[in-house]
Amino acid sequence: MAGTTAQKGYAADSPKTVFAVVGPTFASMQNIRHLSKAQLTAWFEEQGHQKFRAAQVWEWLWAKQAHSFADMTNLSKELRQQLGNSFALPALVVDETQYSADGTVKSRFLTWDQHAVEGVLIPTEDRKTACVSSQIGCSLSCKFCATGYIDRKRNLTYDEIYDEVVLINQQSLRVYNQKLSNIVFMGMGEPLLNYNNVLKAIERISAEDGLGMSPRRITVSTAGVAKMIEKLGDDGVRFKLALSLHAPTDAKRHEIMPINDSNNIESLVEALNYFYKKTGNEITLEYILFDGFNDSLKDADDLIKLYRRIPADLINIIEYNPIEFAQFEKPSEERTMAFMQHLEKNRVNARLRRSRGKDIDAACGQLANK
Three-state SS letters, 252-268: HHHHHCHHHHCCCHHHH
pLDDT for residue 27 is more than 70: no
What is d(CA 208, CA 206) in angstroms, rounded to the nearest whole number?
7
Which pairing describes strands 93-99 and 105-110: parallel, antiparallel, or unpaired?
antiparallel
pLDDT in tens, 220-273: 999 999 999 999 999 999 999 999 999 999 999 999 999 999 999 999 999 999
Name the helix (H) or strand (E) containing 179.
none
With 0-12 CB in 10 A as exposed, 13-18 as middle and 19+ as buried, what is 21? Answer: middle
* 23-88 and 93-360: identical CATH topology: no
Phi first, then psi, for residue 80 (nearest 5°) are -60, -40
Residue 17's pLDDT band, with cuts at 50, 70 and 90, is very low
Q: Which fold has domain 93-360?
A: TIM Barrel (3.20.20)
pLDDT in tens, 186-229: 999 999 999 999 999 999 999 999 999 999 999 999 999 999 99
Structural domain boundaries in the chain? 23-88, 93-360
Average pLDDT of the chain is 89
Residue 148's pLDDT band, with cuts at 50, 70 and 90, is confident
DSSP state of 192: G
pLDDT for residue 179 is more than 60: yes
Share of the chain above pLDDT 70, in %: 88
What is d(CA 285, CA 288) in angstroms, rounded to the nearest whole number?
10
pLDDT at 359: 58
What is d(CA 240, CA 215) in angstroms, rounded to the nearest whole number?
8
- Kindly report the number of other CB atoms within 10 A of residue 39's CB atom: 12
Higher pLDDT, 268 or 18: 268
**Looking at this protein, which amino acid is placed at residue 41?**
T
Of these residues, 138, 142, 145, 364, which one is catalytic? 364
pLDDT at 219: 98
- Kindly report the number of other CB atoms within 10 A of residue 143's CB atom: 17
Which residues are CB-contacts of 308 (< 8 A; sequence separation ≥ 6)? Answer: none
DSSP state of 308: T
Residue length, the chain? Answer: 370
What is d(CA 215, CA 124) in angstroms, rounded to the nearest whole number?
20
DSSP state of 17: -
pLDDT at 26: 58
pLDDT for residue 24 is more than 80: no
Residue 182's pLDDT band, with cuts at 50, 70 and 90, is very high
136 within 8 A of 188, measured Cβ to Cβ: yes
Least confident range from 15-24, 58-67, 138-147, 254-263: namely 15-24
Which residues are CB-contacts of 274 (< 8 A; sequence separation ≥ 6)? Answer: 229, 230, 233
pLDDT at 9: 36
Residue 358's pLDDT band, with cuts at 50, 70 and 90, is low
pLDDT at 327: 82
pLDDT at 144: 87
Higher pLDDT, 19 or 272: 272
pLDDT at 141: 86
Of 24, 315, 31, 63, the closest CA to residue 210 belongs to 63
pLDDT at 238: 98
Phi first, then psi, for residue 90 (nearest 5°) are -70, 145
Is 164 catalytic? The answer is: no
Of these residues, 118, 160, 190, 319, which one is catalytic? 118
pLDDT for residue 334 is more than 70: yes
Is 131 catalytic? The answer is: no
pLDDT at 66: 95
Residue 72's pLDDT band, with cuts at 50, 70 and 90, is very high
349 within 8 A of 315, measured Cβ to Cβ: yes
Residue 101's pLDDT band, with cuts at 50, 70 and 90, is confident
pTM more than 0.85: yes
b/e per residue, 310-336, with b = 16+ CB within 10 A? bebebbbbbbbbbbeebebebbeeebb
pLDDT at 353: 87
pLDDT at 286: 96
Q: Which fold has domain 23-88?
A: DNA polymerase; domain 1 (1.10.150)
pLDDT for residue 178 is more than 80: yes
pLDDT for residue 311 is more than 50: yes
- Across the range 14-19, mean pLDDT stands at 31
Phi first, then psi, for residue 170 (nearest 5°) are -60, -40
